[in-house]
C-alpha cells in the first residue's frame, strides 16, 4: 500500500517491468497499461491527504508507461512483421503455420 501513498519513479519502473512482462506472457496484459495508472489516479483524486504532488503522479505514470512499452514494443513489432499487420492480438495462422492455442476438436 506504500506505492499508493508515495509513488516514486523507481516503483513506476518496477511495476512497468512486472506488468510489461505479463503482456509478454498473455496479450490481455495490455489492459494493465491503462488500468494500473487509472487506479493510481483514482487513489490520488479520492484521498483526502495528498502526500504527493500531481507532478510526482505524472512522473510515476510516464515511467510506468515507458517501461511497459519498452518491453511490449519489440514483441508487437516482431509479431506484426510476421503477419504483415500491426495488431495486438495473435493470428491463428502466421506464415502458413497454425498457432492455435485451443485444443483440437475431438474426432468422435
Per-residue pLDDT of the chain (108 residues; tens, 9 = 90+): 566 667 888 888 888 999 888 888 887 888 888 999 999 888 888 877 777 888 888 998 999 999 999 998 888 888 777 776 655 555 455 555 555 444 455 555
CA dihedral (77, 83, 88, 92) positive or negative: negative
C-alpha cell at 90: 495473435
In a domain, 64, yes or no: yes
The whole-number pLDDT of residue 91 equals 47
Give 97's DSSP letter. E
Q: Helices (H) and strands (E) in the chain — how many of each? A: 4, 2
Q: In this structure, is residue 97 part of a structural domain?
A: no
Supply the pLDDT for residue 47: 79
The count of residues in the chain is 108
Instruction: Note the pTM of the prediction, 2 decimals.
Output: 0.68
Cell numbers 495490455 correspond to what residue?
30
Q: What is the pLDDT of residue 59?
A: 93
Supply the pLDDT for residue 25: 81
Cα–Cα nearest to 58, from 18, 5, 8: 8
Q: Is residue 107 part of a domain?
A: no
Give the total number of structural domains in the chain.
1
Question: Does a structural domain hold residue 106?
Answer: no
Q: Show the domain range for 57.
A: 2-86
Residue 91 forms part of a structural domain = no
Amino acid at each position: 500500500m506504500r506505492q499508493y501513498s508515495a509513488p516514486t519513479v523507481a516503483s513506476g519502473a518496477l511495476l512497468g517491468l512486472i506488468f510489461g512482462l505479463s503482456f509478454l506472457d498473455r496479450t490481455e496484459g495490455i489492459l494493465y497499461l491503462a488500468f494500473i495508472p487509472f487506479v493510481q489516479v483514482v487513489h490520488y483524486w479520492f484521498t483526502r491527504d495528498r502526500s504527493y504532488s500531481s507532478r510526482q503522479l505524472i512522473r510515476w505514470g510516464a515511467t510506468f508507461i515507458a517501461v511497459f512499452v519498452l518491453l511490449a514494443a519489440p514483441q508487437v513489432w516482431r509479431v506484426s512483421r510476421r503477419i504483415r499487420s500491426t495488431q495486438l492480438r495473435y493470428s491463428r495462422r502466421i506464415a502458413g503455420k497454425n498457432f492455435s492455442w485451443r485444443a483440437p476438436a475431438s474426432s468422435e
